[in-house]
Structure 1
């Protein structure tokens, strides 16, 4: 009995201490509106269930906050998030809060301090050093790589012409991986012809486990996760991906030493990949840091690009008028020529670029952005204390009827004509995020997506039905896949 009394007193004392040290958070929750909150549980019950249910709940919560003023809060366990849906407040958060939220720690297990998840102080240094690798001139030097792999994609798709519907994403993602591996590391993987690859399998396994941890509260605790079989599977597959990249770096270093020892000190006519540029004589990066950055580039640069291309094909396949406009634009640029696109061709694809932007608006592949305040942050109607998570939901923001009009759910690429965009707030459309910590590879992604889509649409007519039910698995995924049928033009 005495033991039970002691446990009870200690429990009550800890709870009182816990509440007293977090008074500023409870005060914030009283100032910000909320919907669907339960005593003690907060909003945790909204994040239990399958990935379709969770995405639907996130959409419901964000929509209710968006229409009730654009600022609200959710409690997930003991953690409060300010949910920000006003473009003006979103701009403030993305410009001033450069620290990623604590939920990104699951990616840090894999990517270390790569650019995508690095703490702010380190990110500032490394972003400055990496920025020249993504200069427009450097990216434009890769257009031949984009075109070469796009031609292989067109050949691989031939097997589906006049056949039943199929999931085009698996074809596009192999093409995108071939592009990213060659431009980031100089590695020619030929995954389009040989898709079975240990590195890719390991990478997919790690992504699945990280996604599971993000949305299963009990697995977020390391003490519990480490007791499950998932922990050893994750460790094994992370080691496999690291070994692959470490070996590429080792080989690249030996090649650089050989080149430097040659009479000319360089290879005439050889295209430099990102790893080449990082391996300078006075490189500040350790081998571990090189691996973290290269892994981050290959992972972030592949999935997002592949998903946008696949969604664009489905949208064009279910909107034949818009597909005809794209084809006519491509015919004006290429005529009957079969050549691969160069940088001038890609820059002329103005309507196709609007199609890509409208695709990213309707199917925002990164549906949630999370940051953390490092100091007090003044927003339009309140001030957030330091240490608070900020959740922005572009997937809902981009379909807001308040921002985009009553036809917000319609596929209308011309909403991105300059005259239709002039009065739009810059943070009403943030597929590449915004501010200093926006996507460093956004120009790379746009040119690669144009090249892939142009190659496919010059060769094939696409037929498709809308994607249907969506789910969240870190990124935005259609439950039934990106299903299309093909006809030869």
Structure 2
């Protein structure tokens, strides 16, 4: 009897959902997709399998959007997403819809109301407090951190140089962890010398679980997610991460109170982001609460660490695949530094123009965050005539935007850094590895400074060669777990340069 009641209730519930979604189904008549879609599960079946299979599906959806003049659609269960890859349309979307879609808010288990995914009423005032902390003048003060930590990484790489293939990922992620903790929290961890840190291990495991939940409609509901073993694992990782950061915040706040709200800093030890946040939000007594500081610190730690590490690791692999371009970069570095071994300074970075173009081209074809999403909270018609209705999610497909031949030309799939000199994109939203619009990533310049510094340090000391057994040809095999990463774990070989 109970089974019958449950079955009848489920059928009624599905019928109601089917009726409520009639407007969304009508929308699909105009936003085309040739990917087979089934009742109630939609295209969720396409996200089964490995993380590489998931990324292949993300890429297939992007190609659909390019094929259908910049738009396609995706059903995840009963939720419809309109997928955009035309920069002009994307610019309209990000200006019209400021709320992040609910599918992205599963990260709130960790970062709470952190500004990256916070609702608009919370995001707006926090953005005003955060923005001044990323001013170029303040970022330049962190240059010595990137330089010092880069020198440590170069030294650690001596253990694997001239010895065959290895993964650069561990070295990049520990470099960015040491850099981001010193610049954000004001503490020196020394992870590069010690090996993996529990924070990195917990974050990697948590990211995989969040990605699994995002792409599994049956796990979108809190009650169903809590019935799985994934929930307990998530909470274990979250508690470990937040405990680590919370202890540092409490210690830093106490030190500021003792020093009358004044950070102990000078030319060589500038104020970390945490101190700047405390001061700009009202001071140790009246500023952000420990919870608010935790949320924003986690945003900077997670976004800053993973984005820079993934980006720099992809750049390293591309250096190994394009030895002629790597030689151009090395010659450019020699023009700036000569045969000296002096440290890199902020004043050197603008002179490394070809390196910057190489990094930009890598991020164009391999953006660490390939997709993001906004929530349509009102009806509107885009400049191209696409109608969007409330309740629909809008996926902004950066991977496909960066390959859209309408804006990047017939060679959009080719790796060609020179395009940023002779044929830059014709629309500002055509290049958005760190998103676009008022909710873009504030840490874009920070990430570029970090990547330019570490790649310069690497190329000054080593020649990067393809890993043994690789074809030395694109495209790279990719996988998706919130970030887009390399299936082969960024394997390369290093050859020590003779000076």
Q: Which residue of 1 aligns with 2:32?
A: 33
Q: 1:456 to 1:28 in 2, by over 3 A?
A: same
1:472 paired residue number: 480
> Could you tell me whether the CA contact under 8 Å between 1:398 and 1:404 is conserved in 2?
yes
Aligned counterparts, 1:271-286, within 5 A: 271-280=270-279, 281-282=282-283, 283-286=286-289
C-alpha contact 1:260 1:266 (8 A) present in aligned 2 = no
Partners of 2:70 and 2:14 in 1: how far apart?
32
Find the aligned partners of 1:155 and 1:266 in 2 and give their Cα distance. 30
| Aligned-partner Cα distance in 1 for 2:490–2:433 | 20
Aligned pairs for 1:116-195 (under 5 A) are: 116-195=116-195
Contact kept, 8 Å, 2:152 with 2:192, in 1: the verdict is yes
Cα gap change, 1:184 to 1:8, in 2 (>3 Å): closer
Q: Deviations over 1:388-423 (max 9, x none)?
A: 100122112212333322322222111001x421x6
In structure 2, the residue matched to 1:433 is 435
Q: Compare 140-149 and 283-292 and name the one that shifted more.
A: 283-292
The equivalent of 1:446 in structure 2 is 448
Separation in structure 1 between the aligned mates of residue 264 and residue 169 of structure 2, nearest angstrom? 39
User: How many positions carry a matched residue from both structures?
Assistant: 484
Shifted more, 98-107 versus 321-330: the winner is 98-107
Using the TM superposition, give the Cα deviation of residue 8 of structure 1 relative to its aligned residue in structure 2, in angstroms.
7.1
CA distance change for structure 1 residues 7 and 272 in 2, over 3 Å: closer, same or farther?
closer
Q: Deviations over 1:355-382 (max 9, x none)?
A: 0000001111111111111222321122
Note the C-alpha offset of 1:267: 5.2
Alignment of 1:337-376 (within 5 A): 337-376=340-379
Q: What is the alpha-carbon distance in structure 2 between the residues aligned to residue 274 and residue 10 of structure 1? A: 52
Structure-2 separation of matches of 1:265 and 1:108: 30
Distance 1:265 1:307, change over 3 A: closer
CA distance in 2, matches of 1:300, 1:132: 18
Q: Which moved more, 1:45-54 or 1:402-411?
A: 402-411
Residue in 1 that maps onto 2:410: 406
Deviation at 1:441, TM superposition (A): 0.4
Which stretch of structure 1 is more off in the superposition, 269-278 or 162-171? 269-278
Where 2:464 maps in the other structure, the secondary structure is: strand
Give deviations 1:2-32, integer Å, cap 9, x for gaps: 995x777655554443333333222212222
1:191, 1:15 → 2: CA distance? 51
| Structure-2 separation of matches of 1:332 and 1:393 | 38
CA distance in 1, matches of 2:393, 2:212: 20
Please give the alpha-carbon distance, in whole angstroms, between the structure 1 residues aligned to 2:13 and 2:153: 60
Measured in 2, the distance between the counterparts of 1:190 and 1:199 equals: 13
Given that residues 315 and 359 in structure 2 are in contact (C-alpha distance below 8 angstroms), is that contact kept between their aligned partners in structure 1?
A: yes
Mark the CA change 1:90 to 1:190 in structure 2 (over 3 Å): closer, same or farther. Answer: same
Q: Which stretch of structure 1 is more off in the superposition, 52-61 or 16-25? A: 16-25
**Secondary structure of 1:344's aligned partner:** coil
Say whether the 8 Å CA contact 1:169–1:481 is kept in structure 2: yes
Measure, in 1, the Cα distance between the counterparts of 2:242 and 2:321. 41
| Cα distance change of structure 1 residues 174 and 15 upon mapping to structure 2, 3 Å threshold | closer
Structure 1 spans left out of the alignment, 5+ residues = none
User: How far apart in 1 are the matches of 2:36 and 2:369?
Assistant: 25
Determine if contact 1:211/1:474 at 8 Å carries over to the other structure. yes
Distance 1:9 1:226, change over 3 A: closer
Once the two structures are superposed, residues 28-66 of structure 1 have per-residue CA deviations (whole angstroms, 9 ceiling, x without a partner) of 122221212334132222222221112112212221231
Report Cα offsets for 1:329-351 as digits up to 9, x if no partner: 10011111212211110111111
Q: Is 1:307 aligned to residue 310 of structure 2?
A: yes
- 1:333 is aligned, of 336, 346, 358, to 336
| Residues in 2 aligned to 1:181 and 1:8: alpha-carbon distance in whole angstroms | 52
TM-score (norm 2): 0.92
Distance 1:170 1:75 in 2: 36
The reply to whether residue 388 of structure 1 matches residue 387 of structure 2 is: no
Aligned residue number for residue 320 of structure 1:
323
Provide the aligned C-alpha RMSD in A. Answer: 2.1
Residue of structure 2 equivalent to 1:235: 235
Give TM-score, length-normalised by structure 1.
Answer: 0.94
Instruction: Determine if the alignment matches structure 1 residue 460 to structure 2 residue 465.
Output: no
Distance 1:73 1:151 in 2: 47
Q: Identify the residue that residue 221 of structure 1 maps to in structure 2.
A: 221
Report whether the alignment pairs 1:291 with 2:290: no
Distance in 2, matches of 1:266 and 1:463, equals: 44
What SS does the aligned partner of 2:192 have? coil
Give the C-alpha shift of residue 265 in structure 1.
Answer: 8.5
List gaps (5 residues or longer) in structure 2: 467-471
Deviation at residue 198 of structure 1 after TM alignment: 2.6
> Relative to structure 2, which stretch is displaced further, 9-18 or 405-414?
9-18
Within a 5 Å distance, the mapping from 1:15-54 to structure 2 comes to 15-40=14-39, 41-54=41-54
2:469 maps to: none
